[in-house]
């Protein structure tokens, strides 16, 4: 009877699996994210096939190049790490939705999400054309959805225009509309080697104290042509997920359970302090209950496997 009257569901097709892709030859563990690996571009297709067989319908790729430079030029290279991974996955499992993270921070030696100005902070307008270039290169490789994560004003409009001009009218934009300047990204920065040498990201990422501003960020993205919106992190911003669900009822809403949220649960479970499966399910259900259609989570593969085995 509980199942009959249940209001919120969780299934593998609600999950988006993040994958860190490298130009290396061996898989590498990420110390602060037990169970997560950096995967060579040549090996990533096998992971994608395995996820698809478990019912996961989408992945989001984060490329980690061998060489980083001040301009982040690896980000839009035709044979760049992300572009290679997209091609490999699309060749192996064309039905799997491939989303790519569109940002400069994984490709710049300074780790910032944009072209730097004299004061060492990213320049919004100078960064926009580069984002357009990255998105087009991902679309040419076969990406279905591009996800700009750098919180630059005007990024969605610029990317839409660039994609359309190159003939990619069917490639969708999932905007990291509401991305907070969060301490919960720490483990990701280990994984992607994007820690900043100097400065911080508070010039463009959102102040955790602000909710009304989040609505404004999302409204701007919608007006520029965003196809889907994202809130990130998820668990400590469920009020924002809930408010955005109501404000843009027609748009799919994605929430990102980020690296720090994953690390917290993993660490407590490893100590025997929390029941991993039960707490993971509870967090994911709460994110869905708040209004997210889909959830980006490092638990995607595990949860899909657990569900496949008849859990809970
Ligand atoms: C930036 C980006 C970040 C994450 C996803 N895209 C990091 C940042 O803003 O520093 C974080 C994801 C996570 O913590 O899991 N391209």
Among protein residues, the one with the nearest Cα to ligand 1's atom 12 is: 258
Alpha carbon 123 to its chain centroid, in Å, reads 22
61, 103, 181, 265: residue to mutate for ligand 1 pocket, most atoms within 8 A of CB: 103
- What is the C-alpha to C-alpha distance for residues 284 and 282, in angstroms, rounded to an integer? 6
- What is the C-alpha to C-alpha distance for residues 149 and 138, in angstroms, rounded to an integer? 14
Task: State if residue 103 touches ligand 1 by the CB under 6 angstroms criterion.
Answer: yes
Q: Is the pLDDT of residue 282 over 90?
A: yes
pLDDT tens-digit series, residues 64-90: 999 999 999 999 999 999 999 999 999
Q: Residue length, the chain? A: 312
Ligand 1 midpoint to CA 245 (Å):
22
pLDDT value at residue 279: 98
This prediction's pTM: 0.97
Ligand 1 midpoint to CA 21 (Å):
14
Phi, psi (5° rounding) for residue 302? -60, -50
Q: How many Å from the N-terminal Cα to the C-terminal Cα in the chain?
A: 15
Nearest CA-CA partner of 94 in 40, 145, 143: 143
pLDDT tens-digit series, residues 227-247: 999 999 999 999 999 999 999
Reduced to 3 states (helix: H, G, I; strand: E, B; else coil), residue 297 is strand
- Angle at CA of residue 11, ends 10 and 16, nearest 5°: 100
Looking at the annotation, which residues are catalytic? 179, 232
pLDDT value at residue 76: 97
- What is the C-alpha to C-alpha distance for residues 278 and 290, in angstroms, rounded to an integer? 18
Task: State if residue 176 touches ligand 1 by the CB under 6 angstroms criterion.
Answer: no
Structure tokens at 149: 């994560």
- Report the nearest atom of ligand 1 relative to the CA of 176: 6
- What is the C-alpha to C-alpha distance for residues 193 and 221, in angstroms, rounded to an integer? 28
Q: How does residue 195 score in pLDDT terms, banded at 50, 70 and 90? A: confident
């Amino acid at each position: 009877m509980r199942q009959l009257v249940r209001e919120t569901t969780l299934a593998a097709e609600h999950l988006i699996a993040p994958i860190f892709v490298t130009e290396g030859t061996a898989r590498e563990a990420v110390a602060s994210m037990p169970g997560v690996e950096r995967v060579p571009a040549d090996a990533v297709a096998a992971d994608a096939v395995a996820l698809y067989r478990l019912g996961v319908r989408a992945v989001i790729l984060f490329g980690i190049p061998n060489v980083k430079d001040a301009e982040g030029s690896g980000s839009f290279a035709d044979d760049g790490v992300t572009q290679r991974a997209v091609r490999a996955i699309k060749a192996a499992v064309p039905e799997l939705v491939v989303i790519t993270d569109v940002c400069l921070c994984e490709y710049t030696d300074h780790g910032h999400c944009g072209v730097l100005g004299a004061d060492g902070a990213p320049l919004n307008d100078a960064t926009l054309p580069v984002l357009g270039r990255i998105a087009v290169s991902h679309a040419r490789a076969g990406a279905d959805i591009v996800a700009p994560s750098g919180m630059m004003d005007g990024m969605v409009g610029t990317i839409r225009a660039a994609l359309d001009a190159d003939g990619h009218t069917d490639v969708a934009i999932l905007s990291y509309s509401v991305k907070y300047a969060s301490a919960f990204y720490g483990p990701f920065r280990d994984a992607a080697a994007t820690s900043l040498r100097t400065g911080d990201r508070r010039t463009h990422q959102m102040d955790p104290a602000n909710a009304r501003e989040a609505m404004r960020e999302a409204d701007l993205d919608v007006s520029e042509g965003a196809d889907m919106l994202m809130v990130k992190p998820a668990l400590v911003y469920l009020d924002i997920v809930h408010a955005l669900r109501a404000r843009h009822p027609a748009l799919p809403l994605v929430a990102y359970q980020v690296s720090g949220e994953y690390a917290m649960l993993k660490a407590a479970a490893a100590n025997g302090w929390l029941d991993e499966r039960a707490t993971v399910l509870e967090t994911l259900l709460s994110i869905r209950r708040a209004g997210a259609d889909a959830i980006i989570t490092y638990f995607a593969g595990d949860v899909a496997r657990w569900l496949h085995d008849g859990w809970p």
